[in-house]
Amino acid sequence: MAELAAIALNATSYVLILILVALGLVVVFGMMGVINMAHGELFMLGAYVVVAAQGAGAPFWLAVLAAPLVVGALGAIIEGLLVRHVYRRPLDTILATWGLSIALKQMVVLSFGPASYSVVAPVEATIAFGTFAYPVYRLILMAIAVVVIAAVFWVFLRTDFGLAARAVIARPDTAACLGIDTRRLYRASFVIGTAVAGFAGALVSPLISVDPQMGLGYLIPAFLSILVGGAGPLAGVLAGGAVVGGTDSLLTVWLSPVVAQIAVFGLAILVIRLRPQGLLGARDGA
Amino acid sequence: MAPRGLAVLVFAVLMAFPAIGGDYWTDQLTRYLLFGLFAMSLSLVWGRGGILCFGQAMFFGGGGYVMAALTMGLVGGGLAGGLLTSTYIGLLAAVVAAAVFAALLGYFLFWGKGLAGAYLAIVTLAIAFMLEQLIKSWYALGADNGLSGVPPLDLGAFGWHLELWDPAPRYYAVLAVVLAVYVGLDRLLRSPFGIVLTAVKTNPDRAAFFGYRVLWIKLVTFVIGAAIAALAGALFVAVDEFASPTLIGFGLSTEVLIWTALGGKEMVLAAFLGALAVRVMEGYLSESLGDYWILALGLGFMLSVVLLPRGLIATPIASLAARLRGNRR
């Protein structure tokens, strides 16, 4: 029983982290059709903000709050200098942001070195579930992740900004004709997407070893989650993240992590191929 | 399409190179030629076929591992009097294996409505990542350590051996293969098939309307690209005497994408020169620039995608060729 609880908790925390990473991606991809290959590196930068803060002796929670601001500001610069110029060439965004991801990774190598860092969790306590102890920090992380995910959904589904954003997603030209400033919305969405990535990286940093290569391990599952869930509706990312993350966590119980990952990727590719509109997408792709 | 005169000039320079370049650079250039051959395969598939494959290295590395496993005698070494360890059989098996794999994978990816654009990029990226993980934990193939001690190219057959140990003969053997593939590709792309391929890339629906079988045309392109990549990979492990998991995965897949895009993906010769240029610069600059070289490469790649999407080498060649044509008229 206790073992089952541990599996369920681990699966839930991985799913929530994956959704958090994928959410920033899907905002940018669903809205602007921009494939941001540097998203994993923005996630990584969020973790490095915590590493830098820890080195300077700043408190953990301050660093977690600073991470989305730092990474979001970087997102605004990236949007202005790079992404803005390739909006009309969606496939070129893959290449351009790929170049960016290489550059970001190398900047981190140059300033922090290629080795990995470990971040000390702010809460060391554990909570006992029957026979096994579960770190309290993971529970806090899950609660925060749920709040952030809910907040992003609230912004896009319940505010005027979100209404305008969804109008731009559905019919960009018509939205522009109606006087919506699409340029400003694109920039705002990109910054929100990158800030969420930075925040996710900062939150996860105590659980993993922070190194310059960490982004890719989250980028591919996040992309697969989006495509499995369906890139159209925002809720698709919840379904996709749950399927990809949940399957991975459950298979890891019986299989080695490598085999589990290969199995999950294969399964995700099969779903994407057979149902390209995603689990939650409508048949006509609307 | 690159002017033929330019291709003749490029290959003439490459033929003269060992006489002036010295053994060290001849040896290095042998490897770069194979990366160039690899870039040609992506230029065909992506630049001319419009199939954005983010995992092209699965064919390069796959071909390399087939070649290594066969020539090292890991697969039925004693069978047929060591026939299976021959260079020719190894190359043939690598190319055929990659072609069959590409045909199956391509059919899975392209049938029906088919995956295209960003979806295809992400799926091929994930496949390359999966294969790299798989090969890294495959103990019979050396797992993380790879296979070292791959025998050199051996032009002999039937018990008679002609092993290529010296840089210059090896260089010319590789250059001959590269030249042959280039000529073949050039002819293919100038043939009616090449024109249909452009039609399929530009507007698949309209091409289908005219009665062309889009699935088949894409499949043939994908398979030829895979075969060329596998040939490059198989030759590479024989030259390098080492097959490692880095040849198959995600890292090399994206590197070849950068070479091809920097050179110019629509022009096979430009993609080939792109790979050569980046590798030569890396050889020179990575010592003086150190870690800043990768940073410069990433930033340079970004700039070229935004400002010169047709490629740094293809753009001047195309404008020069247009000007020459204008004068002739």
- The two tokens of residue A208 are 């993993």
Q: For residue A251, which phi and psi values (nearest 5 degrees)?
A: -65, -30
Does the structure show a pLDDT above 70 at A98? Answer: yes
What distance in Å separates the CA atoms of residue B68 and residue B244, rounded to the nearest whole number?
A: 10
B163 belongs to a structural domain: yes
Q: Do the chains contact at B118 and A106, CB–CB below 8 Å?
A: no
Interface residues on B facing A, Cβ-Cβ cutoff 8 A: 52, 108-109, 113, 115, 117-119, 121-123, 125-127, 129-130, 133-134, 136-137, 250, 254, 257-258, 261, 291-292, 294-295, 297-303, 305-306, 309
Does the structure show a pLDDT above 90 at B223? Answer: yes
pLDDT for residue A252: 81
**pLDDT single digits (tens) A187-221:** 888 899 899 999 999 998 888 888 888 888 888 88
Number of helices (H) and strands (E) in chain A: give both, helices first: 11, 2
B84 belongs to a structural domain: yes
Arithmetic mean of pLDDT over chain A: 84
pLDDT for residue A286: 38
Nearest to B119 among A85, A104, A227 (CB): A227
pLDDT for residue A119: 81
Does the structure show a pLDDT above 90 at B33? Answer: yes
What distance in Å separates the CA atoms of residue A54 and residue A42, rounded to the nearest whole number?
A: 19
Q: Which of B136, B144, B295, B310 to mutate to test the interface with A (most CBs of A within 10 A)?
A: B295
Which of A107, A77, A37, A79 lies closest to B250, judged by CA? Answer: A37
- The answer to whether A115 faces chain B, any CB pair under 8 Å, is no
Query: Could you tell me the sign of the dihedral formed by the alpha carbons of B234, B235, B239, B245, in that order?
Result: negative
Q: What is the DSSP letter of A34?
A: -
Does the structure show a pLDDT above 80 at B57? Answer: yes
**pLDDT single digits (tens) A217-263:** 888 888 888 888 876 667 788 888 888 888 888 888 888 878 888 88
Which of B244, B253, B60 lies closest to B135, judged by CA? Answer: B244
Does the structure show a pLDDT above 80 at A161? Answer: yes
pLDDT for residue B221: 93
Does the structure show a pLDDT above 80 at B165? Answer: no
pTM summary value: 0.87
pLDDT for residue A284: 45
At residue A285 the predicted structure's pLDDT band, cuts being 50, 70 and 90, is very low
Domain boundaries, chain A: 2-211
pLDDT for residue B230: 94
What distance in Å separates the CA atoms of residue A273 and residue B291, rounded to the nearest whole number?
A: 40
Higher pLDDT, B88 or A12: A12
> What is Dmax (Cα atoms) for chain A?
63
Nearest to A98 among B119, B254, B309 (CB): B254
**pLDDT single digits (tens) A19-36:** 888 888 888 887 777 888
What distance in Å separates the CA atoms of residue B281 and residue B107, rounded to the nearest whole number?
A: 38
Arithmetic mean of pLDDT over chain B: 84
**pLDDT single digits (tens) B226-261:** 999 999 999 999 888 888 888 887 888 888 988 998
At residue B76 the predicted structure's pLDDT band, cuts being 50, 70 and 90, is low
pLDDT for residue B41: 94
Higher pLDDT, A3 or B264: B264
Does the structure show a pLDDT above 70 at B84? Answer: no
Q: What angle do CA B31, B130, A239 make, to 5 degrees?
A: 145
- The answer to whether A220 faces chain B, any CB pair under 8 Å, is yes
pLDDT for residue A179: 86
Q: Which of B46, B129, B285, B303 to mutate to test the interface with A (most CBs of A within 10 A)?
A: B129
Give the number of domains in chain B. 1
Does the structure show a pLDDT above 60 at B77? Answer: no
What distance in Å separates the CA atoms of residue A169 and residue A176, rounded to the nearest whole number?
A: 11
Q: At what angle do helices A236-254 and A257-274 cross, to 10 degrees?
A: 150
pLDDT for residue B158: 64
Does the structure show a pLDDT above 60 at A13? Answer: yes
**pLDDT single digits (tens) B96-144:** 999 999 999 989 888 877 777 778 888 888 888 888 888 888 877 777 7
**pLDDT single digits (tens) A163-182:** 888 888 778 888 888 888 88
What distance in Å separates the CA atoms of residue A225 and residue A136, rounded to the nearest whole number?
A: 27
Q: What percent of chain B has pLDDT over 70?
A: 94
Residues 6+ apart with CB under 8 A from B324: B3
Higher pLDDT, A284 or A275: A275
Range(s) of the domain holding residue B34: 4-251
**pLDDT single digits (tens) A111-153:** 888 888 888 887 777 887 777 778 888 888 889 999 998 998 8
**pLDDT single digits (tens) B14-25:** 888 888 878 888
Q: Do the chains contact at B126 and A227, CB–CB below 8 Å?
A: no
- Identify the three-state secondary structure at position A36: coil
Q: What is the DSSP letter of A135?
A: E
Which residue has 């030629």 as its token pair? B33
ipTM of the complex: 0.82
Q: Is B43:B310 a contact under the CB 8 Å cutoff?
A: no
| Averaged pLDDT, A83-96 | 82
Residues 6+ apart with CB under 8 A from A196: A20, A23, A24, A27, A68, A148, A152
